[in-house]
Amino acid sequence: MASQATPIAFTIAGSDPSGGAGLQADLKTFSALGVYGCAAVTALTAQNTRGVSGVWPVPQGSVREQIVAVLEDVPVNAVKLGMLFSHQVISEVIEALNRWPSLPVVCDPVMVATSGDRLLSEDAVDALRTGMLPRSLIITPNTAEAAVLLDCPEATTESEMQAQADQLLKLGPGAVLLKGGHLQGESAPDVLLWRDIAGQQQKEILRSPRIATRNTHGTGCTLAAAIAAGLAKGLELPEAVRQAKTYLSGALAAADQLKIGSGAGPVNHFFKDCQ
């Protein structure tokens, strides 16, 4: 009896030496969800639970070569993009991924860390908007990132979120998950828009109770990585998003079990192992 193929996800993201965000969080998420993880480094950071004190680019051409080296050998099922840092890195990612046009891409348009530190250079925003978004199966911005991508005020209501998600979908991605964690209220609504097999636009509002914890470092990375893990396992996109949202809620609810650092600590990626 032939063994079942191993689901494999590939993160292309910045490194967080404190382990709570970036490709370290992505790899933890993949492992927690039963997916083998590969990783390409787009930038080095000096950061901890209190903030980012330094960001450095990797050598020119190295991101492209990392991606090609993996994809020429490893049968990757889904790609997750995180911090891309610069126009140069975005160009290298697009150039490399264009060789594998059918590979599903989950793009988390990382621009600002949880601490407020900027993680995307000013000249890279347009490259992300016009080059990377149309290549993505789904993008997962929060309301602040959506405002930058659309060059408009940040959404403060659910109806404004829905309108902005519709505008983001027109930029070319296959789907948009606009995250409402920054909104006020007891629940955190996320707006999911996608096109079905007939090309018709579909909408779903995913709601979860707001969890009172300061350990929110890496939540965006974790959610996008969980979506990629679901796609790698063969889930249809809406179900991959639903399961990722459920996983993140569980990781947040168990976050206070961890005592990491003196600032905004990480979520508990392996909360299921502790139950």
Please report the domains of the chain, with CATH numbers, ordered by start residue: 8-274 (3.40.1190.20)
Identify the pLDDT of residue 115.
60
HSE (side-chain half, CA atoms, 13 Å) at 154: 12
14 is catalytic: no
Task: Give mean pLDDT, residues 170-186.
Answer: 88
Active-site pick, 179, 180, 181, 265:
179
Question: Above 50 in pLDDT, residue 1?
Answer: no
Identify the pLDDT of residue 237.
97
Q: Which residues contact 178 (CB under 8 A, 6 or more apart)?
A: 141, 142, 143, 146, 155, 161, 164, 165, 168, 190, 191, 193
% of residues, the chain, pLDDT over 90: 82
Active-site pick, 49, 140, 143, 216:
216
Identify the pLDDT of residue 118.
65
Question: Above 70 in pLDDT, residue 69?
Answer: yes
Tens of pLDDT, residues 91-150? 999 999 999 999 999 999 988 766 666 678 777 889 999 999 999 999 999 999 999 999
221 is catalytic: yes
Rounded to 5°, the CA angle 13-16-19 comes to: 115
Q: Would strands 36-48 and 51-57 be described as parallel, antiparallel, or unpaired?
A: antiparallel
Residues in the chain: 275
Nearest to 64, CA basis, from 37, 36, 98, 38: 98
Active-site pick, 218, 230, 250, 265:
218
Identify the pLDDT of residue 29.
98
Top pLDDT among 115 and 73 is at 73
Active-site pick, 11, 42, 219, 222:
219
82 is catalytic: no
% of residues, the chain, pLDDT over 70: 95
20 is catalytic: no
Identify the pLDDT of residue 111.
82
179 is catalytic: yes
Identify the pLDDT of residue 183.
77
105 with 135: CB under 8 angstroms? yes
Active-site pick, 181, 221, 222, 245:
221
**Residue 204 belongs to what H/E stretch?**
strand 201-206
Task: Give mean pLDDT, residues 56-79.
Answer: 97
107 is catalytic: no
Tens of pLDDT, residues 189-203? 999 999 888 888 999
Question: Above 70 in pLDDT, residue 169?
Answer: yes
Nearest to 38, CA basis, from 17, 62, 68, 5: 68
Question: Above 70 in pLDDT, residue 243?
Answer: yes
